[in-house]
């Protein structure tokens, strides 16, 4: 005869189910928090990418045209535009870089043509670009993206342009 037998209580089943529900809700909460954090990280990374890539692009364009008279400021559609001049097969061309409809935009035309800023090529999403040239010849470019983040590039043209020394 079996003297030891276990009675099944309803509290055992309720405890097991409630423990499972607590575990499932905890796992769901951690997953939801991780998804929100991931989304914020991706958004911030995209914003940083746009600013970093745009400044890197501008720096390379400035380096390629760093000669006397190769870099100037011009009137753009929404403020100043960066104007870079270069010769291609003995024909003078101008490259305008400006912000148009929320994008950093580039327009490449012959020097004798009138610029149509609506016909430029959009490059990256940028909210605004501020250009300033100091009395010492230093060019300061500040880019701002939609979220309000901004970064600045300071460019000193070669010594032949300003008559000064580079260090």
Q: Is 69 left (phi over 0), alpha (psi -120 to 50) or beta?
A: left
Q: What is the pLDDT of residue 4?
A: 65
* Element spanning 63, H or E: helix 10-64
At residue 147 the predicted structure's pLDDT band, cuts being 50, 70 and 90, is confident
Q: What is the pLDDT of residue 29?
A: 96
As a whole number of angstroms, the distance between CA 27 and CA 22 comes to 9
Higher pLDDT residue, 53 or 147? Answer: 53
Spell out where 12-110 has E strands. Answer: 71-76, 79-88, 91-100, 103-110
Q: What are the boundaries of each domain within the chain?
A: 70-161
Q: Percentage of residues in the chain with pLDDT exceeding 70?
A: 90
**Backbone φ, ψ for residue 93 (5° rounding):** -125, 155
Neighbours of 153 (CB within 10 A): 15
Q: pLDDT tens for residues 1-22?
A: 556 666 667 888 899 999 999 9
* CA 144-148-152 angle, 5° bins: 35
Residue that the structure tokens 């309000």 belong to:
148
Q: pLDDT tens for residues 89-122?
A: 889 999 999 999 989 999 999 999 999 999 999 9
As a whole number of angstroms, the distance between CA 43 and CA 160 comes to 42
Predicted structure pTM score? 0.70
């Amino acid at each position: 005869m079996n003297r030891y037998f276990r009675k099944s209580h309803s509290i055992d089943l309720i405890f097991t189910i409630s423990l499972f529900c607590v575990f499932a809700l905890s796992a769901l909460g951690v997953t939801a928090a991780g998804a929100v954090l991931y989304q914020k990280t991706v958004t911030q990374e995209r914003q940083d990418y746009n600013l970093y890539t745009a400044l890197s692009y501008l720096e390379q364009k400035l380096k390629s045209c760093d000669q006397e008279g190769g870099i100037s400021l011009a009137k753009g559609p929404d403020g100043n535009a960066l104007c870079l001049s270069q010769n291609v097969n003995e024909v003078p061309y101008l490259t305008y870089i400006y912000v148009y409809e929320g994008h950093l935009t580039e327009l490449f035309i012959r020097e004798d043509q009138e610029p149509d800023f609506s016909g430029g090529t959009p490059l990256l999403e940028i909210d605004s670009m501020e250009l300033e040239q100091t009395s010492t010849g230093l060019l300061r470019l500040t880019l701002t993206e939609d979220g309000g983040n901004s970064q600045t590039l300071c460019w000193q043209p070669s010594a032949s342009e300003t008559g000064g020394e580079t260090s």
